[in-house]
Amino acid sequence: MLNRISKIIIAIFALSLVSVATAAPLQPRLGGLAFYDPDLDITWYYDASTDGNNGNWIAQQNYITNVLNVDGVTGWRLPTAGATPLDCPGVSCADNEMGYMYYVRGITNVIEGVFINILDGPYFSGTESGTDVWWFSFLTGDQGLINQNVPESQFVAHTWAVHDGDVLPQVPLPAAVWMFGGAILGFMGIRRRRQA
């Protein structure tokens, strides 16, 4: 039988495990057009059907990386899926960006959270394996490989854009800060002259 102190220690340990497994909240960016994930240090576009069913993986990859412009922000890419080496096929793989979104954050095609248009078909990832590319399903959490060149008529997949890091714009220092700093340096120079 455990004494009271042992029970308290076990309870504190259990609570600490729960807090470690809890994902940090997503933070809105670009007026709600994107959401920053501090756990993964990436920003997700709010529309999970960025390019819809428009071409095979090569065409969709090209659109996301070279054409997509969200409120002046470019440089988007496809999220990761699968694993390298290929040690995590099937379900329960949360060690990639789409798996983390599904298994840790609980985002599915039914539970969209702050996102829209999460479709039940497979999603292309940016994770390549030779001539294949990983796909991920937000319906089942399943993932697998498909050849990059498979035409859209044989394999219809969606795309969801992410951006490395936080797309929060860098705020320049106000002119008053620069003027104040210049004035301080000027006063220091005058003081040195007087002391000399």
Lowest mean pLDDT among 47-56, 69-78, 83-92: 83-92
pLDDT at 175: 60
For the chain, the domains span: 25-182
Q: How confident is the model at residue 172 (pLDDT cuts 50, 70, 90)?
A: low
Q: pLDDT digit string (tens) for 4-48? A: 555 444 444 433 333 335 789 999 999 999 999 999 999 999 999
Nearest Cα residue to 156 out of 115, 129, 127, 119: 119
Tokens encoding 82: 């699968």
- pTM, two decimal places: 0.72
Inform me whether the pLDDT recorded for 177 exceeds 60.
no
pLDDT for 92 equals 72
**Average pLDDT score over residue span 143-154:** 88
Q: Identify the pLDDT of residue 188.
A: 63
Q: How far apart are CA 84 and CA 127, in angstroms?
A: 9
In this prediction, residues 90-119 reach a mean pLDDT of 89
